């Protein structure tokens, strides 16, 4: 067989693929089955083609950032190498964009844009670090560091780390020091305008602001991802989901200085299963409705979670003056460990330097179920349903809830909230059913979420 494949891509010069010693890893079977080609040492190869049989045989084409000049010493600027490697990987069918293990790659804010050829794998085994100085940050990329967009059918995986080097950003936040101007900082990892995306096993840490944002996506599976940032780092949400549908987060461990998971406007069919959260502000729907905006969130399920030492547990937060709705939410099988506000709906959310006034409009909250929630609370108000006076919360259902405070009693706070509890509910949720008991049986075919008679034991069935 010919030892070199020399044809050009789109007539352009390309760098050598995956050179390691005198071997070229031009393709790999299923990532671990490496096949290699000998390359004659005295040959300078600038142009390297992928033989067509590789894709016919289902082989993967390895595009190693090291082959494009990445140094991986944590000091050299590897931005250009990543960009070049991306351009090749994206334009090659069945390619693997590889960030190899054992090294640290310093990379500036970069847009990794699709659409790409089919079956792209982004294999991150090494560490990618961001430059740590906010003053040197290119303002063109003010809100995103590693920004992947317009991808379809890609897999992100590996044992590697994405490290936003956020400490100087946190120190310059107005949340840390009121003399600092309030400005946004970049998100470490963004996946935007994409579909059929899988993310498996990555570690994301020290985001400049949010750690991982999923925006304008459909069909995303996130598995065994770990997110970490210090408990006092400002606004470092773990995983933030916005304007996206059909997202599943599973087996994720998240500890940050803000929400472990935040789910905001334009989301539907979001499922979180086996989540560990802490430290942080808990699992949040919201905030929603800021600056009189409209928000719609439907069909959200949290199933099996542990929240440890978090400021909130399961929270829905909306600003006064918003509109739209949150409808069809199920929280179940959740264990709270020393959580300040284990169950909370807060329609008076106000995260601005000046106080917020009460307005007549609000994001409506309807059909929220809490099932099998137990553990310990730090505050006496273990359950708080603080709903808008003009737009009450409705159909809040609780069953098998048991929250206790180590030393002292617990209580439920209700303002303008309607619903009921059955089975064990501690503290009692009596304040929910002060009126309108006729509303206990409701079917909403539009959202495929049913609230059935409690005796039928199939409360809030959300199809996911
Ligand atoms: C990366 O950012 C630094 C400033 O922090 C800049 O000097 C350098 O040119 C950038 N690298 C690339 C490849 O744009
Ligand atoms: C806040 O920032 C100002 C100006 O940079 C500085 O003088 C002050 O020491 C900072 N305060 C704290 C608590 O860090
Ligand atoms: C809310 O989400 C919808 C759907 O994604 C979008 O059209 C709308 O612009 C969003 N509203 C705001 C205030 O972001
Ligand atoms: C929101 O609406 C209220 C009442 O109409 C108005 O007073 C306020 O200025 C509006 N706020 C914003 C940010 O538009
Ligand atoms: C209730 O939730 C806990 C986790 O918090 C779980 O271990 C247990 O199996 C659940 N019980 C039922 C009946 O599902
Ligand atoms: C709960 O947190 C408080 C401090 O916030 C701490 O003193 C206490 O030991 C914690 N309790 C448990 C059971 O961990
Ligand atoms: C807004 O309304 C709530 C509920 O009635 C009340 O507790 C709160 O004090 C009000 N806030 C302001 C700023 O008026």
Q: Are strands 23-28 and 34-38 parallel, antiparallel or unpaired?
A: antiparallel
User: What Rg, from alpha-carbon coordinates, does the chain have?
Assistant: 25
* Contact between residue 267 and residue 237 where contact means Cβ atoms under 8 Å apart: no
Q: CA–CA separation, 286 vs 347, rounded Å?
A: 10
* Count of structural domains within the chain: 1
Residue 70 counted as domain residue:
no
CA 154 to centroid of ligand 1, rounded, Å: 28
**Domain annotation covers residue 129:** no
Residue 145 lies in a domain: no
Q: pLDDT in tens for each of the 464 residues of the chain? A: 333 232 223 222 233 333 333 223 433 323 333 333 333 333 333 334 555 665 666 778 999 999 999 999 999 999 999 999 999 999 999 999 999 999 999 999 999 999 999 999 999 999 999 999 999 999 999 999 999 999 999 999 999 999 999 999 999 999 999 899 999 999 999 999 999 999 999 999 999 999 999 999 999 999 999 999 999 999 999 999 999 999 999 999 999 999 999 999 999 999 999 999 999 999 999 999 999 999 999 999 999 999 999 999 999 999 999 999 999 999 999 999 999 999 999 999 999 888 999 999 999 999 999 999 999 999 999 999 999 999 999 999 999 999 999 999 999 999 999 999 999 999 999 999 855 544 444 444 444 444 333 333 333 333 33
pTM higher than the cut 0.95: no
Paired strand residues for 35: 27
> Residue 309 is part of a domain; what is its CATH number?
2.160.20.10
* Residue 231, domain member (yes or no): yes
21 within some domain:
yes
C-alpha to C-alpha distance for 440 and 389, rounded to whole angstroms: 21
Q: Does residue 334 fall inside a structural domain?
A: yes
Q: Give the distance from CA 321 to its chain's centroid.
A: 27
pLDDT for residue 434: 59
Ligand nearest to the CA of 338: 6
Q: Which residues span the domain enclosing 375?
A: 3-58+150-183+192-451
C-alpha 323/C-alpha 295 separation (Å) is: 6
> What pLDDT does 431 receive?
96
**Whats the size of the chain, residue-wise?**
464
From the candidates 159, 240, 281, 435, which is the catalytic residue?
281
Q: Is 281 annotated in the active site?
A: yes
What residues does 163 pair with on adjacent strands? 129, 205
Distances (CA, A) of 222 to 78, 199, 213, 361, 391: 27, 5, 12, 35, 35
Ligand nearest to the CA of 360: 4
The reply to whether ligand 7 has any atom less than 6 angstroms from the CB of 415 is: yes
In a domain, 298, yes or no: yes
Residue 84 within any structural domain of the chain: no
Peptide bond into 115 cis (omega under 30): yes
């Amino acid at each position: 067989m010919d030892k070199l494949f020399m044809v050009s891509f789109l007539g352009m010069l390309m760098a050598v693929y995956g050179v390691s010693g005198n071997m070229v890893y031009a393709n790999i079977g299923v990532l671990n089955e490496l096949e290699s080609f000998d390359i004659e040492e005295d040959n300078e190869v600038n142009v390297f083609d992928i033989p067509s049989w590789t894709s016919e045989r289902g082989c993967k084409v390895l595009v190693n950032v090291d082959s494009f000049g990445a140094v991986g010493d944590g000091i050299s600027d590897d931005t250009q190498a990543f960009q070049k490697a991306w351009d090749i990987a994206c334009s090659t069918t069945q390619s693997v964009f590889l960030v190899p293990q054992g090294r640290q790659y310093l990379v500036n804010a970069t847009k990794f844009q699709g659409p790409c050829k089919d079956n792209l794998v982004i294999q991150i085994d090494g560490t990618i670090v961001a430059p740590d100085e906010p003053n040197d940050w290119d303002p063109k990329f003010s809100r995103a560091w590693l920004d992947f967009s317009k991808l379809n059918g890609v897999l992100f995986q590996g044992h590697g780390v994405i490290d936003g080097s956020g400490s100087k950003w946190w120190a310059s936040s107005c949340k840390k020091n009121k003399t600092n101007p309030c400005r946004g900082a970049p998100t470490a990892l963004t996946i935007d305008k994409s579909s059929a995306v899988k993310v498996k096993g990555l570690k994301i840490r020290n985001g400049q602001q949010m750690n991982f944002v999923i925006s304008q996506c459909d069909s995303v599976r996130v598995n065994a991802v770990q997110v970490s940032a210090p408990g006092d780092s400002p606004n470092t949400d773990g995983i933030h989901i916005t304007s996206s549908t059909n997202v599943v987060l599973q087996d994720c461990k998240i500890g940050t200085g803000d929400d472990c998971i935040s789910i905001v406007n334009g989301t539907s069919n979001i499922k979180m299963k086996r989540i560990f959260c802490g430290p942080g502000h808990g699992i949040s729907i919201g905030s929603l409705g800021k600056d009189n905006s409209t928000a719609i969130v439907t069909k959200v399920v949290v199933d099996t979670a542990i929240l440890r030492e978090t400021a909130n547990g399961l929270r829905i937060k909306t600003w006064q003056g918003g509109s739209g709705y949150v409808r069809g939410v199920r929280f179940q099988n959740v264990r709270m460990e020393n959580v300040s506000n284990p169950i909370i709906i807060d329609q008076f959310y106000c995260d601005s330097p000046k106080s917020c006034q009460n307005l007549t409009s609000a994001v409506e909250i309807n059909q929220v179920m809490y099932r099998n929630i137990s553990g310990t609370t730090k505050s006496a108000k273990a359950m708080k349903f603080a709903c808008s006076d003009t737009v009450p919360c409705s159909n809040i259902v609780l069953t098998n809830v048991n929250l206790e405070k180590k030393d002292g009693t617990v209580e439920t706070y209700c303002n303008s909230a309607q619903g009921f509890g059955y089975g064990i509910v501690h503290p009692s949720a009596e304040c929910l059913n002060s009126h309108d008991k006729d509303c206990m049986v409701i079917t909403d075919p539009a959202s495929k979420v049913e609230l059935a008679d409690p005796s039928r034991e199939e409360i809030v069935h959300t199809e996911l």
